[in-house]
Amino acid sequence: MPYFAPANQEIQRPVSNTFIVLSVLAALFLNGLPWEGIWLMLRPDFVAVVMLYWCTHKPLRVGVGWSWAVGILADVADASLFGQHALAYTLLAFGGVVLHRRLQMFNLRQQTTHVFGILVLTYAVYALVHWQVNGYVVWAYFLGSLTSTLLWTPLSIMFQAVRQMRTERERT
């Protein structure tokens, strides 16, 4: 499968709701692993990347509302303020839904630049809320947006492969 060709046909492939829910739960699990110190700074926001993937690939099923709900769960899991992740993920989902047609025309490398922009904005919203409430910002926090962007390509390839596998199994 040529990954750097426009992935137009790949995107149209069906996907089950179970797969979407499981992927989000897995992302929450990965975020919840006991990251510490420098690893915590470098930890990609798995939930954000997975939500962005579904918002760009299945914008009619996973949109702003679902991202908000997942954000609330992330707030509870992280013991952050109610609405902090939710606000950030709402913006993330909006970016994904609005740009999904454009991203479908792009190859993975071009997608990554757009994804970086959206993720930086998401991280900035989260940091802004924190700054408003607590009055200081840890700049190393933004390293996470870089690693999250790096996660986009492997995640896309992996999800495409899983979806491919499922469709082939259904066909036989």
- The site for another protein (CB under 8 A) is made up of 25, 28-30, 32-34, 36, 40-41, 60, 63-65, 68, 71-73, 76-84, 86-87, 90-91, 94, 97-98, 129-130, 133-134, 136, 138, 140-141, 144
Q: How far is the CB of 139 from another protein (least distance, A)?
A: 10
Nearer Cβ to another protein (108/125): 125
Q: Please, what is the minimum distance in Å from the beta carbon of residue 4 to another protein?
A: 29
E strands in 10-86: none
Which tokens hold the place of 133?
Answer: 């409430």
- The radius of gyration computed from the CA coordinates of the chain, to the nearest angstrom, equals 16
How far is the first Cα of the chain from the last one, in angstroms, to the nearest whole number? 19
- In the bound state with another protein, the residue whose beta carbon lies nearer, of 46 and 108, is 46
Query: Residue 92 and residue 149: Cα distance in Å, rounded?
Result: 13
CB 116 within 8 A of CB 99: no
Looking at residue 73, its amino acid is: L
> Is 15 or 71 the residue whose CB approaches another protein more closely?
71
Nearer to another protein, 7 or 86 (CB): 86
Q: How far is the CB of 91 from another protein (least distance, A)?
A: 7
* Dist. CA 146–CA 119, nearest whole Å: 8
Please, what is the minimum distance in Å from the beta carbon of residue 102 to another protein?
14
